[in-house]
Structure 1
Amino acid sequence: MGFLTFAAAGFGLILMGTFEAIASTTTSSPPSNLPQSKPQTTPSRSSFIYFLSASLLSFLFILNSLISFFDAVNSHDRVGSAQQLQVAAIAALFLLYSLTGLLTLNNSSFPSSLLNLIGLFAFVEEFMYFYLRRKDTVGIENRYFDMLLVPIFVCLFGTLLQLRNNSSSVIPNLVRGVGLVLQGLWFFQMGLSIYTRWMAHGCVLKEKSRGNYTVKCKGHPEYHRARAIATLQFNCHLALIVVLVVGVYSVVVRKTGGGGGGGDISRYKPLGAEMQHQIDSQGQFTLDSDEEEEEVREEGKVVRNKAGGEVELDVNGNGAHT
């Protein structure tokens, strides 16, 4: 497939995830203490670019799969040809999802649950494809495909949340956007690690056809070293995603006034002053008032004095000791 194919797929997924995250953060309603802005302009544009990028990327995946399929047929590679048919089927599901999303934007009466259901099926199909892909059990590319299951599952989980909630919550879209960005970064990393000189030392690439390849290593030390390098690279990508999410979230909070950093400071009231106002409104309290209240309640009743005797109170408050 080549490095350019992986790079193009990674760039498209990063673009999709970025616009998905932007659409989710700008769709949220502004705080009540801030003036209302125009919430519909930016989310609609971001969602349109998201679905447009998804449709274009899905079409390119289908085109690339067809080219790889005919190359596998010419190379008499049955495994490669069958594999490319699976990739084309998955890309067709994502193309249907993106076209349905564009239709949803133009028609508000179109059910959004159907869109989320198609997206859920597409991510499940993609997850199962990479989970069951084991052409060569000792190939280093299997380690990269195992790591790819993590961002795919994040996208699947975000779509499942959106399908179940079916609300305007920003969390499902944000989760799916982060998963798409991580998936795009990992596609780019796979292209670098498989088709460039950045491949682990002691390992070589062997191709049976354009879409059927494996990475062989000389021995067990090189094999375990290459697997460890793949795991380290994925951890670095996770750390990069965390830094990007925190940075973007802080910028969005400052601009939208969400959270505690961008609110209206002039409306802030100290907690001590508010509590003092509540205490003053309840009046003054003295110990004498409490004792007098107890004395009034004790009139006409029998109470026990400190010495242990009983005192019977009459109406005038005079009692007889017993």
Structure 2
Amino acid sequence: MFRFLPLPDGALSLVAATAFCAEYLLFYFHSTTHKGLEGYYHLILVLLIGLCVVSSMAGALLPASFPVDLTNGIAMTLQGLWFYQTAFSLYGPMMPNGCQLEGDRIVCGSTVSRVRGELLANVQLFSLVLGVLVAVVVSYGYAASRYGRGELGR
């Protein structure tokens, strides 16, 4: 592709950052209609999309940086996983106790139920972050042991 349309380094990251900006605006304004527990899950999603915007912009500024590329990949992975987590938690079998789907809204019976659901969302996000970081470290360790240069370890 670059043979026919030569682009400067980081141009693809700039295109990705533009797409994430559009997604950020879409979910930011979409989330204003959601309150309570559903609003909290959407807030976390908007924060993860913001992380994708920032890491993509950094990729445009530093196109040869491995840490920036790794951060961008982790941010995109977390965003995708959070979409699934939100679906399972709010519209599937992982609905917090005391909350239920009524029509097109998530309604919690009490403030305690809503706070419990928000704390559960924090635990779910932490679990996803920890799981992704463990997967990255294990993958990096495997790749380094299999394809790494031996003289660097000596």
What TM-score do the two structures reach when normalised by structure 2? 0.84
Q: How much has 1:111 moved relative to structure 2?
A: 3.7
1:122 partner letter: A
Q: How much has 1:154 moved relative to structure 2?
A: 2.7
Does 1:248 pair with 2:144? no
* Match for residue 108 of structure 2 among 199, 202, 217: 217
Query: 2: distance between equivalents of 1:117 and 1:123?
Result: 10
Query: What corresponds to 1:179 in structure 2?
Result: 75
* 1:47-77 deviation per Cα after TM superposition (whole angstroms, max 9, x unaligned): xxxxxxxxxxxxxxxxxxxxxxxxxxxxxxx
1:149 partner letter: V
Query: What corresponds to 1:136 in structure 2?
Result: 34
Q: How much has 1:150 moved relative to structure 2?
A: 3.6
Does 1:148 pair with 2:45? yes
Q: How much has 1:227 moved relative to structure 2?
A: 1.2
Query: 2: distance between equivalents of 1:107 and 1:162?
Result: 23
Query: 1: distance between equivalents of 2:93 and 2:147?
Result: 45
Does 1:190 pair with 2:81? no
Query: What corresponds to 1:116 in structure 2?
Result: 13
Query: What corresponds to 1:237 in structure 2?
Result: 128
* Match for residue 96 of structure 2 among 195, 200, 216: 200
In the TM superposition, 1:81-120 aligns within 5 A as 103-104=1-2, 107=4, 109-120=6-17
Preserved contact between residue 151 and residue 182 of structure 1 (Cα < 8 Å) = yes
Higher helix content, 1 or 2:
2
Unaligned runs of 5+ in 1: 1-102, 208-212, 269-322
Does 1:227 pair with 2:123? no
Q: How much has 1:112 moved relative to structure 2?
A: 4.6
1:137 partner letter: K
1:144 partner letter: Y
Q: Secondary structure of the residue that 2:150 maps to in structure 1?
A: coil
Query: 2: distance between equivalents of 1:111 and 1:206?
Result: 51
Q: Secondary structure of the residue that 1:264 maps to in structure 2?
A: helix
1:193 partner letter: S
After superposition, the CA RMSD in angstroms is: 2.3
Unaligned runs of 5+ in 2: none
Q: How much has 1:236 moved relative to structure 2?
A: 1.1
Query: 1: distance between equivalents of 2:91 and 2:35?
Result: 20
Query: What corresponds to 1:16 in structure 2?
Result: none
* 1:213-241 deviation per Cα after TM superposition (whole angstroms, max 9, x unaligned): 32111121111111111111111111111
Query: 2: distance between equivalents of 1:178 and 1:107?
Result: 31
Q: How much has 1:118 moved relative to structure 2?
A: 2.2
Q: How much has 1:158 moved relative to structure 2?
A: 2.0
Query: What corresponds to 2:151 in structure 1?
Result: 264
Q: Secondary structure of the residue that 1:158 maps to in structure 2?
A: helix
Does 1:125 pair with 2:22? yes
What TM-score do the two structures reach when normalised by structure 1? 0.43
Preserved contact between residue 182 and residue 238 of structure 1 (Cα < 8 Å) = yes
For the structure 1 residues 233 and 218, does the alpha-carbon distance in structure 2 shift closer, same or farther, using more than 3 Å as the test?
A: same
* 1:4-27 deviation per Cα after TM superposition (whole angstroms, max 9, x unaligned): xxxxxxxxxxxxxxxxxxxxxxxx
Preserved contact between residue 10 and residue 62 of structure 2 (Cα < 8 Å) = no
Query: What corresponds to 1:79 in structure 2?
Result: none
For the structure 1 residues 169 and 107, does the alpha-carbon distance in structure 2 shift closer, same or farther, using more than 3 Å as the test?
A: farther
Query: 2: distance between equivalents of 1:174 and 1:136?
Result: 32
Q: How much has 1:242 moved relative to structure 2?
A: 1.6
